[in-house]
Amino acid sequence: MAKIFYFTGTGNCYSVANRLGEKLGAELVAITDYLSHPYIVEDAVIGIVTPVYSMDLPQVVAEFLEKVQLKETRYIFCVATMGAMAGRSLYHVKDLLHKRKLILSAGFTVTLPDNSIIFPSGEKRMQMLLAAEEETVNNIAELLKEHEENSVKMKDCFLLKISAAVGMWSLKSVLKVKHKKINEDKCNGCGICAKICPAGCIIMEKGRPVFSEGCLTCFGCAQWCPNEAINLGWLHPTGKTKYVHPGVDVQAISGRNMLDCKQ
């Protein structure tokens, strides 16, 4: 038996997790769903599919690794999706598990288009990365079937820690990405942002989204908005900076996350 826990905002991690799930016969579980309704995981094989945020793990994935209850697990792997660099993300997974006397057996990376708005991948690179995804994930799946072990290669350094910390501080304190604003002239009240929010902290009131605390900085609300009506602080995806995985739709990832946010 196997489970793959994933965190996704714009679809990259869901796409990878879904492909791996099909190859390995594994059940998919949203990390935020697990955190809202924790239970003892008895599967022998556990996978974590996570995005890379500023060369590190999203805070919610770190929280999951600190809290997940594993009973019979004998093989743990992680796949990090990234726009360019994995940074310390895989090492961080290894370290958090090690602190709980658990072992990360293997880690892999899949490069996919960047949704960060700041560093758009560009149309040519985007198409190249998407075209390579299936083969890359299939190769990873074959290694996982053989219970590949490669975590000894995962290293950390002070520079990566500083870079990761500065990157997240800049997003939150300088670019103020958690301070969302709605362009009333563009918003059509479709509710897509509320449906896909992995934190569950967007509700619709009088046909308009209302944001509460608990944002996980996935950029999903703004990137999925069909009318480009959401500003994330100083950032606003439009044109070449707008991206969601073309193989994932709203229905596939909506309603999968039920974190309780402060109203």
pLDDT per position as a tens digit, 91-145: 999 999 999 999 999 999 999 999 999 989 999 999 999 999 999 999 999 999 9
Strand partners, 77: 47, 106
Does the residue 131 lie in any domain?
A: yes
Instruction: Please identify, among 161, 186, 220, the residue that sits at the C-terminal boundary of a domain.
Output: 161
Does the residue 98 lie in any domain?
A: yes
Does the residue 86 lie in any domain?
A: yes
* Global pTM exceeds 0.85: yes
Q: Which residues contact 228 (CB under 8 A, 6 or more apart)?
A: 183, 186, 222, 236, 237, 238, 242
Nearest one of 29, 63, 66 to 46, comparing CA atoms:
29
Rounded to an integer, the average pLDDT of 155-177 is 88
Q: How high is the mean pLDDT of the chain? A: 93
Does the residue 152 lie in any domain?
A: yes
Domain co-membership, 147 together with 179: no
Domain co-membership, 85 together with 199: no
Question: In the chain, how many domains are there?
Answer: 2
Instruction: Please identify, among 134, 161, 188, the residue that sits at the C-terminal boundary of a domain.
Output: 161
In angstroms, the first-to-last Cα distance of the chain is 38
Rounded to an integer, the average pLDDT of 12-24 is 98
24-63: per-residue pLDDT in tens?
999 999 999 999 999 999 999 999 999 999 999 999 999 9
Strand partners, 205: 208
Instruction: Please identify, among 100, 129, 161, the residue that sits at the C-terminal boundary of a domain.
Output: 161
Answer yes or no: are the C-beta atoms of 160 and 87 closer than 8 Å: yes
Rounded to an integer, the average pLDDT of 236-255 is 91
Strand partners, 76: 46
Q: How confident is the model at residue 255 (pLDDT cuts 50, 70, 90)?
A: low
Q: Which residues contact 234 (CB under 8 A, 6 or more apart)?
A: 174, 175, 176, 177
- For residue 227, the enclosing domain spans 174-253
As given in the structure block, the two tokens for residue 2 are 């196997």
> Tell me, what CATH number does 67's domain have?
3.40.50.360
Answer yes or no: are the C-beta atoms of 32 and 13 closer than 8 Å: no
Does the residue 260 lie in any domain?
A: no
Does the residue 166 lie in any domain?
A: no
